Amino acid sequence: MDAVKRLPLPLVAAVLLIVAGLAGLVRGAIPQAAGTDAAAPAVPRGPIVVSGAYVREPANGINAAAYFTIYNTTGVADVLTTVQSGAGAQASLHVESSGAMRNSAGLSIPAQGSAALSPGKGHVMIEKLYGPLKPGQSVNFQLTFAKAGQLLLTAPVIAVTAPAPIAVAP
């Protein structure tokens, strides 16, 4: 066993899953709490909403790419700084720059704006896959934002030929 925690791959068939403010990686099904302000802190922050998430069935057992759109419903710009995935030992943010996909230190989401990781623009590269990813499975992600903190996301694995889910603005 190495030091990296392996997350379960729950068979949750949800497309939009967001939980704000959780510190850890959740096992099993993920509750959906987008838009709830029951636990809103005194200083407003968030919500960040992620939609249209999916992982394309990988062509090999080494890497896979995840795509989604991030909406920032706040009046303050935010930055997606790091991503962790339950499907592989490592995950990196790859963003198109000067014609090539490059490791990115952060993806900015403007105030009241959005940022898309989509084919040609960028993706989360899941590296050192723990096992094969097949349509019908889902992958957990923990996204860390500079201001909004940590969000949990579950993305379905879709077949090579399947249409990508459409992101829906909150």
The binding site for Cu ion (CB under 5 A) comprises 94, 125
- Least Å distance, CB 41 to Cu ion, is 34
Least distance CB 11 / Cu ion (angstroms): 26
Does residue 47 have a cis bond before it (omega within 30 degrees)?
A: yes
- As a three-state string, the secondary structure of 86-141 is CCEEEEEEEEEECCEEEECCCEEECCCCEEEECCCCEEEEEEEECCCCCECEEEEE
Q: Where are the extended beta strands (E) located within 9-47?
A: 19-20
Of 46 and 54, nearer to Cu ion (C-beta) is 54
Q: Give least dist CB 68 to Cu ion, A.
A: 14
Residues present in the chain in total: 170
Q: Residue 149, SS3?
A: strand
Quote the least distance from Cβ 102 to Cu ion, whole Å: 9
Nearer to Cu ion, 125 or 157 (CB): 125
In terms of CB distance, is 20 or 93 closer to Cu ion?
Answer: 93
CB nearer Cu ion, residue 46 or residue 123: 123
For residue 94, give both structure tokens.
């790859």
